Amino acid sequence: MSNVSRTGMSAGAAIAIVGSLLLAAPQANSQDADSITLNVASVGNQILGVGSVYWCNDTDAANYNPLSSTNSCNFATKDDPLKLPYQESIAATVFTASNANETVDFSVTGNCAVGSDEFDPSGTPTTTTQVAAGGNVYVTALQGSGQCVMTGATSGGGSLAPGTYTYTVNLVPADQQPSTALPSRKRMRVGQRLRLQGTDGIQTNAGQDISWRVLRRSRDNCRIVERGNGAVVLRATSRGRCRVVARAPGIADEWNRFAQRITIRVR
Residue 74 has pLDDT above 90, yes or no: no
CA dist., res. 80 & res. 73, Å (int): 11
Q: How far apart are the first and last CA of the chain?
A: 104
Query: Rounded to whole angstroms, how far apart are CA atoms 82 and 140?
Result: 12
Give the pLDDT band of residue 105 (cuts 50, 70, 90). very high
Q: Can you name the residues that pair with 46 across neighbouring β-strands?
A: 43
Alpha helices in the chain (DSSP H): 11-24, 58-62
Residue 93: is it exposed, middle or buried by C-beta count within 10 angstroms (0-12/13-18/19+)? middle
Q: Give strand pairing partners of 211.
A: 247
What percent of the chain shows pLDDT beyond 90?
Answer: 61
> Which CATH entry fits the domain spanning 187-266: 3.30.2300, 2.60.40, 2.60.120, 3.40.50?
2.60.40
Give the span between the Cα atoms of 93 and 113, in whole angstroms: 17
Pick from 152, 146, 141, 97: which is nearest to 119 by CA? 141
Give me the pLDDT at residue 64, please: 64
Residue 111 Cα to chain centre, angstroms: 13
Q: Are 106 and 151 in contact (CB under 8 A)?
A: yes
Cβ pair 176, 258 in contact under 8 A: yes
Distance CA 9, CA 26 (A): 26
| Beta-carbon contacts of residue 262 (< 8 Å; ≥ 6 apart) | 182, 183, 184, 243, 244, 245, 246
Lowest average pLDDT, out of 92-101, 130-139, 145-154, 238-247, goes to 92-101
Q: What is the pLDDT of residue 216?
A: 93
How is domain 36-172 classified at the CATH fold level?
A: Immunoglobulin-like (2.60.40)
Closest to 22 measured CA to CA, from 30, 14, 11, 10 = 14
pLDDT at 100: 60
pTM of the entire predicted model? 0.78
In whole angstroms, what is the distance from residue 236 CA to residue 17 CA?
95
Contact 236, 266 (CB under 8 A): yes
User: For residues 156 and 132, what is the distance between their CA atoms, to the nearest angstrom?
Assistant: 13
Q: Is the pLDDT of residue 9 over 70?
A: no
pLDDT band at 150 (very low <50, low <70, confident <90, very high): very high
Residue ranges, comma separated, of all CATH 2.60.40 domains in the chain are: 36-172, 187-266
